[in-house]
Amino acid sequence: MFIEPVFGKKFFGREEILATLHKRVTAIKGGYRQNLALTGPMLAGKSSILRHFLGSVRSSDIVPIYIEMNGEDFRSFSTRFMASLLYQYLVSEGRQPYPEFDRLREECAEALPVTLRQIDAICEALDRKKENGAYEKLLDITSIFKCETGKKCIVILDEFHNLANFNLKKPFQVFGKFIMVQKNTMYIVSSSQKTLLKEILSEKLSLLFGNFEVIDVDGFDNQTARSFISEEAKDAPVPDDITSYIIQLSQGNPFYLETILKRFSEKARSSGDQGRRDPKECLLDSLAELLYQSDGILNQYFTNTINFFLEKKARKTLINVLVSIARGNSQIKSMRRDMAKSDRALGEKLEKLKSMDLIDKNGVFYKIQDRLFEFWLRNVHSLKAETLVDDMDIKYLEFRDTVDRDFLEFCQFNSLGAEATVRMLFSSFRNERVCLNMNDRKMPLFGDVDSRRLSGNVSEIAGVVDNSSWVCHVKEGDIMEENDILCLSGQKNIQRGTKIVRKIAVPLGGIEHTAFLLAKENNIWVWDIKKLNRMLRLYGKFELVL
């Protein structure tokens, strides 16, 4: 399956990340260089961001070079690097060059003799199979180019971790050595393998450590996802509950959103016997076709994911662990119970799955990272794997029914509102350890959880355990201000005969920076929508869609 990044008109959102990238470009023009690293799961939209950014850097003194590192050999990587440099140089001079290496060299011969000498040296080293030498010369080229032209380069290396596949001696250390001294070249690297990239940027070579500002590329936030959906489905508006359901199922991942929306719109447009088709039926059909059917694009994608990450030998046992987690067994003891057989290597397997970014560990909880992948593992993979009699039509309907039930459950959840949702979350705590802001915290088993409305859009949830209590203020709609935090921090320490030992602010409409600092000062935890959703997910609930 070949999925291309989007750019130009089809590109949507991502204003914040693009703003950061452009801020760094302005900085390097002024002499301050900050390298960046984008990480996020496959298909989160990293390449799209990078290409869109590439298209928007138009400046005669900056030359951006973009290289996608996708399994080619070192020679073609180097050639693409050099060709891109020459090409983008000519573009920065207002020319429209022809993207062919020899022609680019010819066109640059007069203006860039020194850079071209370096290029010749690299080609010669490559011909003599001196790849390590060629690599160092290649890394040096942007500095030489800067001396010759006064133009600074932005080198973008997409799926950067693949540098390890080139058979070079200590590729990352050498890379680190060069970027340390190249204050005139800005590097932007990206990787779909988050854990691996973080390892590369921190442990493996201390020379890279601290040299990169890491930006996480997640799904679209709720609001962006909503506008994306209404934009995509202009001619057949999607009902609100379906929009919310799709957003929580896809966690705003643009590829999932687009794929589901496209199919949904096709279905909604094709009228049935009695005019327009019922939107819910369209949803169920779309998801069944995409996630269940063997030619469904999402089904194929997840099947590939499994085959790509899990080598054949280990596949079966690792999948069993994944499926068990997907079924809601998020702690080791319940996994052991679920998988019946005692598995001494379970800890090791969990570590392995974690290093592949398929699962996350948080406190005592293990979770499949990707919500839709989890849904597929639970409802498609298991269903197909357990088939006794091979009748896929029956299973197809079974799957459709499962989606139907899930959708109805979600609608019920969604109608609860924020106050009841947080109350439900508090009631689910069972003394588990959860990692919050790098610290493990115990979530108490409350004897009693209450809630009440404090004012128009602020409600209070209080949980009591023995002589102490936790108090949480949820604000919906409007941004949380200093006053809201003062109100929470000033709350009397005695509540119904108990001492308040923990205060939490949940600013669903965002929080002012000063209010956030005030909360920190007063040791109040702040759970924004992202954090709250992470907690809900750990406790096996749906996520809140605003």
Ligand X SMILES: Nc1ncnc2c1ncn2[C@@H]1O[C@H](COP(=O)(O)OP(=O)(O)O)[C@@H](O)[C@H]1O
- Residues forming contacts to Mg ion in the complex (CB under 5 A) are 47
Residue 135 or 302: the one with the smaller Cβ distance to Mg ion is 302
Question: Which does residue 252 bind out of Mg ion, ligand X, none, counting CB within 5 to 8 angstroms by kind?
Answer: none
Report d(CA 240, CA 268) in Å as an integer.
Answer: 15
State the binding partner of 77 from Mg ion, ligand X, none, CB within 5 to 8 A by kind: none
CA R_g for the chain: 27
Q: Which two tokens stand for residue 202?
A: 């921190």
Instruction: Report d(CA 89, CA 108) in Å as an integer.
Output: 9
- Indicate left, alpha or beta for 228 from its phi (over 0: left) and psi (-120 to 50: alpha): alpha
424: partner contacted, choices ligand X, Mg ion, none (Cβ within 5-8 A by kind): none
Among 17, 35, 45, 182, binds ligand X (CB under 6 A): 45
User: Minimum distance between the CB of residue 42 and Mg ion, rounded to whole angstroms?
Assistant: 7
Q: Which of residues 254 and 463 has its CB atom nearest to ligand X in the complex?
A: 254
What are the tokens at 332? 């080791």
List the x/- string, 243-262, binding to ligand X by CB under 6 A: -----------xx--x----
CB of 304 to ligand X, least distance (A): 13
Q: With contact defined as beta carbons under 8 Å apart, do 102 and 112 qualify? A: no
Torsion over CA of 195, 199, 201 and 207, rounded to 10 degrees?
180
43 binds ligand X (CB under 6 A): yes
Closer by beta carbon to Mg ion, 42 or else 383: 42
With CB under 6 A as the contact rule, the residue among 24, 33, 39, 48 that binds ligand X is: 48
Element (H, E) at 359: strand 359-362
Instruction: Give the count of beta carbons closer than 10 Å to the beta carbon of residue 117.
Output: 11
Q: How far apart are CA 201 and CA 172, in angstroms?
A: 9
Residues 30, 77 contacting (CB under 8 angstroms): no
**In this complex, which beta carbon is closest to ligand X, that of residue 45 or of residue 507?**
45
Residue 18 or 416 with smaller CB distance to ligand X = 18
Write the binding mask 189 to 228 for ligand X: x where contact by CB under 6 A, - elsewhere: ---x------------------------------------
45, interface contact from ligand X, Mg ion, none, CB < 5-8 Å by kind: ligand X
Residues of this chain, 7-36, that bind ligand X according to CB under 6 A: 10-14
In angstroms, give the least distance from the CB of 49 to Mg ion. Answer: 9
How far apart are CB 44 and ligand X at their closest, in Å?
Answer: 4
- Applying CB under 6 A, does 66 fall inside the site for ligand X? no
Cβ closer to ligand X: 115 or 286? 286
Residue nearest to ligand X (CB): 45
Least separation in angstroms between residue 308's CB and Mg ion is 14
290 is a site residue for ligand X (CB under 6 A): no
Q: Are 514 and 521 in contact (CB under 8 A)?
A: no
Separation in Å, CA 109 to CA 120, 124, 141: 12, 17, 16
In angstroms, what is the minimal distance from the CB of 48 to ligand X? 3
In the complex, minimum distance from the CB of residue 252 to ligand X, in angstroms, rounded to a whole number? 11
Alpha carbon 421 to its chain's center: 25
| Nearest distance, CB of residue 35 and ligand X, angstroms | 19
Separation CA 419–CA 473 (nearest Å): 9
In the numeric block, the tokens 């085959």 are attached to 307
Interaction partner, residue 43 (ligand X, Mg ion, none; CB < 5-8 Å by kind): ligand X
Smallest distance from Mg ion to CB 43, Å:
8
Q: What's the min distance (Å) between Cβ of 192 and ligand X?
A: 6
Among all chains, which residue has been given the structure tokens 């949904």? 264
b/e map of 52-76 (b: 16 or more CB within 10 Å)?
A: bbbeebeeeebbbbbbbbeeeebee
Site map 163..192 versus ligand X, x via CB under 6 A:
-----------------------------x
Does residue 135 interact with ligand X by CB under 6 A? Answer: no
**Residue 42 touches which of ligand X, Mg ion, none (CB < 5 to 8 A by kind)?**
ligand X
Secondary structure of 364-378 in HEC code, one letter for each residue: CEEEECCHHHHHHHH
**Is 142 in contact with 85 (CB distance < 8 Å)?**
yes
Distance from C-alpha of 87 to C-alpha of 511, rounded to nearest angstrom? 45
Q: Is 47 in the site for ligand X (CB under 6 A)?
A: yes
| Residue type for position 475 | K
Query: Which among 512, 503, 507 has a CA at the least distance from the CA of 530?
Result: 507
Give the pair of three-digit tokens for residue 400: 């459709």
Minimum Å gap between C-beta 185 and Mg ion is 22
Which residue lies nearest Mg ion, judged by its C-beta? 47
Residue 12 or 245 with smaller CB distance to ligand X: 12
DSSP secondary structure of 111-142: T-HHHHHHHHHHHHHHHTT-HHHHHHHHHHHH
Residues lying near ligand X in the complex (CB under 6 A): 3-6, 10-14, 40, 42-48, 192, 254-255, 258
